[in-house]
Structure 1
Amino acid sequence: MKFYTVFVISSLLVSQSWSLTEDEIAQFVSRPYVEHNTGLQGTVSVTYGNDPTKLILQANGIPDHDTGTFPNADNPNSITAQTYRWRINRNPAYSEATSCLPMGPIGMAVNGVALYNPYTITCCDAGVEELDLFDMCTGHPGPSGGYHYHIYPTCLEDIICNTPSSIIGVAFDGFPIYGPIDENGRQLTKGDLDECNGRTDSNGRYKYHIISEFPYIMGCYHGQIVDTSISSNCQCTEPVEVCTEFGGNTGTGGTGGGGGGRPPPHPQARKKRSTTRLFQCCTDETSCSVMRIFVPEEFVSHGDEGGNGAATNSISMLALILSTVSIMLGSNLL
């Protein structure tokens, strides 16, 4: 009876554990890739420190995938190597009370790139106001040179329909961050998640999920921040109703938060765009690879007008070809 009681208690403790698993930790790897702006390769690690209750996140912040050309006419910032080192709880404790997100990094992606909150420096919705300033992988550098994501990092993992998402990163409160498809193959929406963009899965484990709706990656923390070096400056708690950061979307505004950049040099009004297309799942890896190559018009450079440098003219031509083929074949790729 005593052995049975101990076994039951141990099983409950294991099932209640929300720590990163060894398999999840093994996903924090920078793929071999030389980033063209810096000539550097990314580095990332998740290790156990002297304190067994903590994990150490370290990275140089260099992305392991294609990037736009930075600086460019819309973003004056360059991508530079960082010296990221953050401590998180190895076994995070869920709290009903939430804490707000600071400006700057709120977590780290599996490739060592920083994950940011959903706001620009003036509390605009970055997924709307800065979408055309992100590159083809939905990232960009800030004034400090740190490349980062405000929304789903499209070059990290394909979204395959009915296939559970893998871990995308970890929040600074220690809880994992997954993609938009849950463990049962269902694509999640805001209505499926709590105010922090998290949920307890069918195994009783709490996770955050990145979705196509605001706040995209996270809306707040449900766990404790233990690293005092992590900013606690919660400048923005909700998006402003009227964004004037970019001149009311007329291309006459100022500098973007987290590295949004200068306004476009061309006179026409900037278009508000949706992140919905970025979350369209594909039926298999082959169709995903085509979608990954395709770059919609808003991410294509403007040639002589100076554009945002998110794609080259050759990619623009390829996008046009793929778009034409898609229409001819009546496919659902675009």
Structure 2
Amino acid sequence: MQRPLRKRSVLALSLGTTLLMSACGSSDSGSVDTSAVDRAVAVTIEAPAADSAPPIAPAETDSDTEQASGLLGSYTLMDEEFGTMTTVTVDGDTRTIVSNALPDHETGEFPNDGNPNTISEQDASYEYPSVPTYVGAATFAMTPGVAVNGVKFEPATAETVTCASGETLRVEALQDVYNLGLDFNNAHVQPTGEYHYHGISELLADAYATDEDLVHVGFAADGYLMYFSKSDAYASGYALSAEARSGTNCVGSGALRGADVAIDGTTPDGTYTSDWEWSDANGDLDECNGVEIDGEYAYVITDAYPYVGRCLNGEFTARGPGAGGAPPGAGGPPPGGPPPGGEPADAPSQG
């Protein structure tokens, strides 16, 4: 079901200023008609310490990426309606994100037929570089980044199909064969209760949109920014493989535990990660869904596979099962086993 989008207007943006980001627009005079505000989010942009690098871009710039974000410095996000509590602190070359992982927008109903878990408040924290270093290693990251509202992006799943002939195929979250209980935000809930995105949430992108095409929606674990293009201006480099799948006597795991799955000779359709192949001839984005924009490297979340990139090209600290290896694909899961929250003994996994 298509959900109504809630547009927030940023009424002011400057260091040391408290902002009001609300569901209503501003009047001609710049004041807020409080009688029309049905929900509001208070965001505090704190001034950096004297010895810190300036965390926010100049007010006037020709850079699309710099214009697309007002959240490059320290800020606190509180949403009483949805219970969101996120604090982002930039201190020198470090960005620390502390969040209860509750989104600042509507979600679908959980538990549901495909996801047996209930959303619950978390104690999540991330420490990312605020001054990224590009290395071009395309290293797999289980959690490649966190949205500006403190909810993590975790595009890979815990569900796999393993064949007696040696193949292991990882199930994609955004596909039409298996019901993993995703809501209208392309998100669902892990057994720990943590809500997380597998793709772009229209409500997230709309809430932080400006007049620019690029919307700053998150921070990657290597320090580069994550964007969504409203016009779909950046094409993914991935395409479906033309080679039939191979694998005999295949059985599902996780939420698919015990299911016999026919794999051998079937046609890649995007159900599994290994259905997809990347080529620099296919699109604008690299293997990690990254691209240089106005001289700055950044990641773009796309409506097409891989949706959220599964690897990073900057220096970062690899954490969690599977992190730090090669990007997933070629018929196998990320190295190191299923993602956090996967394969519990007493409940289906939900990646």
Query: Taking structure 1 as reference, are residues 27 and 63 closer, same or farther at Cα in structure 2, changes over 3 Å only?
Result: farther
* Aligned match for 2:225, one of 170, 176, 194: 176
One-letter amino acid of the structure 2 residue matched with residue 170 of structure 1? F
| Alignment deviations for residues 140-188 of structure 1 (CA, whole Å, 9 cap, x no partner) | 111111000001112112399x95121010111111100034xxx6622
CA contact (8 A) 1:196 1:221 kept: yes
One-letter amino acid of the structure 1 residue matched with residue 228 of structure 2? G
Q: How does 1:10-25 map to 2 (within 5 A)?
A: 23-25=70-72
Q: Is 1:136 matched up with 2:184?
A: yes
CA contact (8 A) 1:107 1:172 kept: yes
Which structure shows the higher strand fraction? 2
| Alignment deviations for residues 81-137 of structure 1 (CA, whole Å, 9 cap, x no partner) | 1111111111111112221122xx321101111111243432211111567621122
Q: Is 1:47 matched up with 2:95?
A: no
One-letter amino acid of the structure 1 residue matched with residue 350 of structure 2? G
State the partner residue of 1:188.
234
CA contact (8 A) 1:29 1:111 kept: no
When normalised by structure 2's length, the TM-score is: 0.54
Q: Return the alpha-carbon distance in structure 1 between the equivalents of residues 234 and 311 of structure 2.
A: 18
CA contact (8 A) 2:68 2:215 kept: no
Q: Return the alpha-carbon distance in structure 2 between the equivalents of residues 88 and 177 of structure 1.
A: 13
Displacement over 3 Å in runs of 4+: 18-22, 26-31, 118-121, 129-132, 254-257
What is the SS of the residue equivalent to 2:196? strand
CA contact (8 A) 1:115 1:150 kept: yes
State the partner residue of 1:198.
290
State the partner residue of 1:79.
119
State the partner residue of 2:338.
none
State the partner residue of 1:238.
329
State the partner residue of 1:110.
148
State the partner residue of 2:196.
148
Q: Return the alpha-carbon distance in structure 1 between the equivalents of residues 66 and 219 of structure 2.
A: 10
What is the SS of the residue equivalent to 2:98? strand
Deviation at 1:27, TM superposition (A): 9.4
Q: Return the alpha-carbon distance in structure 1 between the equivalents of residues 139 and 290 of structure 2.
A: 13
Q: How does 1:307-318 map to 2 (within 5 A)?
A: none
Deviation at 1:33, TM superposition (A): 4.7
Which structure shows the higher helix fraction? 1
What is the SS of the residue equivalent to 1:166? strand
State the partner residue of 1:216.
307
CA contact (8 A) 2:222 2:313 kept: yes
One-letter amino acid of the structure 2 residue matched with residue 175 of structure 1? Y
What is the SS of the residue equivalent to 1:98? strand
CA contact (8 A) 1:117 1:217 kept: yes
Aligned residues: 218
Q: Which runs of 5+ in 2 are unaligned?
A: 1-61, 161-169, 237-282, 333-346
What is the SS of the residue equivalent to 1:155? helix
State the partner residue of 1:257.
350
Deviation at 1:24, TM superposition (A): 2.9
When normalised by structure 1's length, the TM-score is: 0.57
Query: Taking structure 1 as reference, are residues 136 and 30 closer, same or farther at Cα in structure 2, changes over 3 Å only?
Result: farther
Q: Return the alpha-carbon distance in structure 2 between the equivalents of residues 23 and 109 of structure 1.
A: 14
Q: Return the alpha-carbon distance in structure 1 between the equivalents of residues 186 and 75 of structure 2.
A: 19
Q: Percentage identity across aligned positions?
A: 28
Q: Is 1:92 matched up with 2:181?
A: no
CA contact (8 A) 1:59 1:112 kept: yes
CA contact (8 A) 2:227 2:299 kept: yes
Deviation at 1:69, TM superposition (A): 2.0
Query: Taking structure 1 as reference, are residues 147 and 214 closer, same or farther at Cα in structure 2, changes over 3 Å only?
Result: same
Q: Return the alpha-carbon distance in structure 2 between the equivalents of residues 48 and 88 of structure 1.
A: 9
Q: Which runs of 5+ in 1 are unaligned?
A: 1-14, 36-40, 242-253, 259-334
| Alignment deviations for residues 198-255 of structure 1 (CA, whole Å, 9 cap, x no partner) | 1001x200110011222111131101113x6x325248712759xxxxxxxxxxxx93
What is the SS of the residue equivalent to 1:81? coil
Alignment RMSD (CA, Å)? 3.6
CA contact (8 A) 2:98 2:124 kept: yes
What is the SS of the residue equivalent to 1:127? coil
CA contact (8 A) 2:87 2:99 kept: yes
| Alignment deviations for residues 278-326 of structure 1 (CA, whole Å, 9 cap, x no partner) | xxxxxxxxxxxxxxxxxxxxxxxxxxxxxxxxxxxxxxxxxxxxxxxxx
Q: How does 1:240-319 map to 2 (within 5 A)?
A: 240=331, 255-258=348-351
Q: Return the alpha-carbon distance in structure 1 between the equivalents of residues 330 and 350 of structure 2.
A: 13
Query: Taking structure 1 as reference, are residues 130 and 225 closer, same or farther at Cα in structure 2, changes over 3 Å only?
Result: farther
State the partner residue of 2:20.
none
